[in-house]
Amino acid sequence: MDKVLYERDGRIARITLNRPEVMNAIDDELPGALADAVARADNDPGAHAIVLAGAGRAFCAGYDLTAYASGDKANRYTQEMPWDPMKDYAAMSDNTSKFMSLFRSKRPVICKVQGFAVAGGSDIALCADMIVMAEDARIGYPPVRVWGCPTTAMWVYRLGAEKAKRMLFTGDKITGVEAAALGLVLKAVPADRLDEEVDALAHRIATVPQNQLMMQKLMVNQALYNMGLMGTQMIATIFDGITRHSPEGLNFKRRSEEMGWKRAVDERDQGTFDWTTNQPITENR
């Protein structure tokens, strides 16, 4: 089964993450399949806009922690120590570049979010030009609590420094309503109207000639490049590797192997475990 689907519906290219059995979690193949689908839309003379979606009950739940956190001790994202930071950077910057194919695409991209867009899933969503969320959907980057730094670094460019810090100092997952109020996403709508709202926006955009859309997107994106986007992403991607190979990151990996990643993630997100001492947090500590 294809992990990313592509079809054209009139002037709209529809790209769908297609691992619904794991809430479209990111594995080794999905980033490349996503970039290939974006390239297909860019080279499709009939496509004026892209709608990016996730099959099933979520947009994307992030990296597949079943494989990467609770699986074999060493893998693509956790090396044996001493680790090679540039080997890690090469792998993660490749993924970042593939996610950013959405940002670089010649076509405007609308991301439709139901359920969750968290961790690496939020990295993908925030590379789109616009995001429309269901009001009850949730977005956030919980791995900032341990084991991750958002490699696309789009939080600060969408929110500004203070609101980005609010999200990245806590790792909170916020609803579509909250995300729209913060300015992180374009709008939040009731879940039963999500498809209708996204399609209406996509059809409106698709009435504009391709070359006009491309020029406007290039102009706006250039402003973000001038603000240092590429340099920020380089630092973020290097830091992402450090988070996973720090003492706390390695303790999280060991905890995931011993107790299962769901238990480790719950302890991380609830703040009930001290990853420095590798002990539960009690009331008097």
For 54-87, what is each residue's pLDDT tens digit? Answer: 999 999 999 998 777 666 566 677 888 899 999 9
Query: Tokens 């950013």 appear where?
Result: 100
> The tokens of 37 are what?
């689908």
How, if at all, do strands 279-280 and 273-274 pair?
A: antiparallel
Q: Model's pTM, two decimal places?
A: 0.95
Q: Average pLDDT for residues 226-239, to the nearest whole number?
A: 97
pLDDT value, residue 1:
79
Query: Tokens 């990467």 appear where?
Result: 68
Name all domains of the chain by residue range, CATH numbers in brackets: 4-280 (3.90.226.10)
Lowest mean pLDDT among 107-111, 125-129, 256-260: 256-260
Query: Tokens 């996403």 appear where?
Result: 185
% of the chain with per-residue pLDDT over 70 = 96
CA-CA distance, 96 to 78, in Å (whole number)?
17
Packing angle, helices 85-99 and 30-42, rounded to 10:
40
158, 184 in Cβ contact below 8 A?
yes
